Amino acid sequence: MFYNLRRMIRGENGNVLVLIGVSLFLIVMVIGAAVDMTRAQTLRMRLSSALDAAGLAAAAVANTPGAAYVNGSNIDYNGWVQEEAQRYFTVEFPSGTLGATHVNISAIICNTGTDPTCSNLNTITLQATAMQKPIFMSIFGISNLSVVANSQVTRSSNGQGLELVLAMDNTGSMSDTLSDGTTKITDLQNVAVQLLDTIYGSGDTVSGVYVGVVPFSQEVNINGAYLSNWMDISDPNFGQFDNADTGGSWQGCVFARQLSFDTFDITDAPPSAGAFDRYIWPSGITAVPGYIINQWINTPSPLTYNTPFSNVGNGPSPNYECPQQAIQTMSASKTTVKNAIAGMYPSGDTLLPIGLAWAWRLLSPNWRGWWNSAEMSLHNLPLDYTAQDSVKVVVFLTDGTNHFQSVNYNAYKLLSNFEAIAPIAANVVDEPSAEAYLDTVTLQACDNLRAAGITIYTVGFGNPPSAYPLTAADRLPNSGVVDTQLLAQCAGPAGSAGGITGYSFVASTYTSLTVSFNAIANSIERLRISQ
């Protein structure tokens, strides 16, 4: 017996087995720890992804806190951002994901210690914490692993740039008073300013951001924006009224351009492809029954005028119904753009393609160098469609529908002129067929803009029709009806087929208009994850 015991003590086989056992234990422990750490890392990545999404969503609405967070001039931005971030985080990271427990997030946009008035709302700092029970490491007494993820979302001042055009309806019906006692034009001016404040923040400029304004009705005023080489000098109206004898001058409106016999211009072709003719409303045409009399020539011989001429109100003037506010070319200055918005005045009828065409020209690189704007020339605007550092956006608002009165003189002249040069296939023979053709042209313009690389948001400031097709009564200037189907089909992101949810809005009150513009501002706000 003693012999066998001594043999076992002297033998090495047992030591080998012990070593193998210890090694296997260590290997299993390392593999188990690696598995647990991999699970924790996966959890951290999921937390980080959900945190980024929550931060982006919260940043988009940071400037528009809910009523519960507003107490007079005191606004709890941190509370609002925390609520919105938590709401979106819960969607992105449902309870029990990857076995996580004790999940908490924090979101702070304003450091009240260093910025008590919350004047800087550009950055949201977020953190998510969670616990995860390990599979293997619990053997060694480690009951939970703590996982932390951090994110920072910046409402970018130096990120992707923006070229934005506000194409705003300035027709006579925009002077209508709503049930709350405000006028449509005042409401539009207010919400447009709010949109600018959301994009610009408290500053007057933001790097890479440029905004233009196209007030439109039945014409568009290009006064101050055009260069002389735009104009057709053979046009008999070219030099007319630019002298002291008339007591006034041409105010800046132009007729719709024809690039071929039967095609009106809804392209971004520059003036070199076709010049423009000055808009002049003929004096006192009486041959058309019911025609609006605009008698600005007093006596034909000797020639005297009813002066001074005006471009707003009831005339008399060769500039009758020409919008008072001219195009504001692309500017980096929020103040400049706000001044253009403040100058808008309601007058005239509704021709939607006119507003879209001029909005496109402000954004088209084919028009680079054609605008009378030192600022646009300095910054090489408009940028190329393919520019990686900028997006192009049109916000298009109207309170009506395409409306062509046979007794009205507009950018297409009289209905008889329009009938003569519209495509034969359009069968334009009266007001309804002219309006139907203009609806088609409007949608074609929208398709062209989106295909070129421009995102379109539309706002109908009124009520949908009771039914389709639209009636003659629906199209009357003060009907309060907007063609919601047409506007919805027009709207969409660049490159899309249009009709995309989230890009078209309908508002009938100042409150709903504010909500619509806030949604648009938040949608086009350039956001980037900076950490």
Is 436 among the domain residues? yes
Q: Which amino acid appears at position 385 of this protein?
A: Y
Whether the predicted pLDDT of 370 surpasses 90 = yes
Whether the predicted pLDDT of 362 surpasses 80 = yes
CB neighbour class for 494 (10 Å; exposed up to 12, middle 13-18, buried from 19): middle
Predicted pLDDT of residue 389? 72
397 φ/ψ sector (left φ>0, alpha ψ -120 to 50, else beta): beta
Looking at the fold, whether 118 and 214 belong to one and the same domain comes out as no
Report the DSSP beta bridge partners of residue 167: 214, 396
Predicted pLDDT of residue 245? 45
Q: Compute the distance between CA of residue 197 and CA of residue 209 in angstroms, rounded to an integer.
A: 12
Looking at the fold, whether 120 and 74 belong to one and the same domain comes out as yes
Whether the predicted pLDDT of 414 surpasses 90 = no
Whether the predicted pLDDT of 483 surpasses 60 = yes
Looking at the fold, whether 105 and 182 belong to one and the same domain comes out as no
Looking at the fold, whether 184 and 95 belong to one and the same domain comes out as no
Contacts of 363 (CB under 8 A, 6+ apart): 163, 165, 212, 382, 392, 394, 454
Is 250 among the domain residues? no
Is 116 among the domain residues? yes
Is 284 among the domain residues? no
Residue 508 near residue 144, CB atoms below 8 Å: no
Classify each residue of 126-165 as buried b or exposed e, where b means 16 or more C-beta atoms within 10 Å of its C-beta: bbbbbbbebebbeeeeeeebebebebebbbbeebebbbbb
Q: Compute the distance between CA of residue 152 and CA of residue 87 in angstroms, rounded to an integer.
A: 17
For the domain that residue 486 is a member of, what is the CATH number?
3.40.50.410
Whether the predicted pLDDT of 332 surpasses 60 = yes
Predicted pLDDT of residue 73? 65
Helix/strand/coil percentages in the chain, nearest 5: 35, 20, 45
Whether the predicted pLDDT of 97 surpasses 60 = yes
Looking at the fold, whether 167 and 151 belong to one and the same domain comes out as no
**Strands (E) located in 350-449:** 390-398
- Give the domain extent around 503: 161-227+265-273+325-525
Q: What is the DSSP string of 461-501?
A: ESB--SSSSPPTTTTSTTS-B--HHHHHHH-B-TTS-S--T
Angle between the N-to-C axes of helices 13-60 and 77-92, in degrees from 0 to 180, rounded to the nearest 10: 130
Is 106 among the domain residues? yes
Looking at the fold, whether 149 and 185 belong to one and the same domain comes out as no
Residue 390 near residue 163, CB atoms below 8 Å: yes
Is 332 among the domain residues? yes
The pLDDT of 187-216, averaged and rounded, is 91
Predicted pLDDT of residue 246? 47
Whether the predicted pLDDT of 422 surpasses 70 = yes
CB neighbour class for 471 (10 Å; exposed up to 12, middle 13-18, buried from 19): middle
Q: Which of 105, 123, 155 delimits the end of a domain?
A: 155
Q: Which of 102, 120, 155 delimits the end of a domain?
A: 155
Looking at the fold, whether 146 and 177 belong to one and the same domain comes out as no
Write out pLDDT tens, residues 82-91: 998 998 899 8
Q: Compute the distance between CA of residue 307 and CA of residue 373 in angstroms, rounded to an integer.
A: 31
Residue 149 near residue 194, CB atoms below 8 Å: no
Q: What's the whole-model pTM score?
A: 0.73
Is 14 among the domain residues? no
Predicted pLDDT of residue 306? 67
Predicted pLDDT of residue 212? 98
Residue 329: which H helix or E strand, with range?
A: strand 328-331
Kindly report the average pLDDT of the chain as a whole number: 84
The pLDDT of 489-509, averaged and rounded, is 93
Looking at the fold, whether 200 and 57 belong to one and the same domain comes out as no
Looking at the fold, whether 195 and 110 belong to one and the same domain comes out as no
Give the chain's domain count.
2
The pLDDT of 436-461, averaged and rounded, is 96
The pLDDT of 78-99, averaged and rounded, is 89
Looking at the fold, whether 389 and 486 belong to one and the same domain comes out as yes
Residue 318 near residue 306, CB atoms below 8 Å: no
Q: Compute the distance between CA of residue 72 and CA of residue 150 in angstroms, rounded to an integer.
A: 33
Predicted pLDDT of residue 247? 45
Looking at the fold, whether 71 and 187 belong to one and the same domain comes out as no
Is 259 among the domain residues? no
* pLDDT cut 90: percent of the chain above it: 47
C-alpha angle 66/72/78, rounded to 5°?
Answer: 45
Alpha helices in 281-385 (DSSP H): 334-342, 352-363, 374-378
| Pairing of β 454-461 and β 504-507 | parallel
Tokens 């550009």, residue located? 122
Looking at the fold, whether 372 and 478 belong to one and the same domain comes out as yes
Q: Which of 155, 174, 193 delimits the end of a domain?
A: 155
Q: Please give the structure tokens belonging to residue 466.
A: 């009771």
The pLDDT of 90-110, averaged and rounded, is 90
Which contacts qualify for 493-502: CB closer than 8 Å, 24 or more apart? 493/450, 493/455, 494/391, 494/392, 494/450, 494/452, 494/453, 494/454, 494/455, 495/450, 495/451, 495/453, 496/450, 497/450, 498/443, 498/446, 498/447, 498/450, 498/456
Predicted pLDDT of residue 307? 61
C-alpha angle 281/283/286, rounded to 5°?
Answer: 110
Pick from 410, 382, 378, 358: nearest CA to 230:
358
Report the DSSP beta bridge partners of residue 206: none
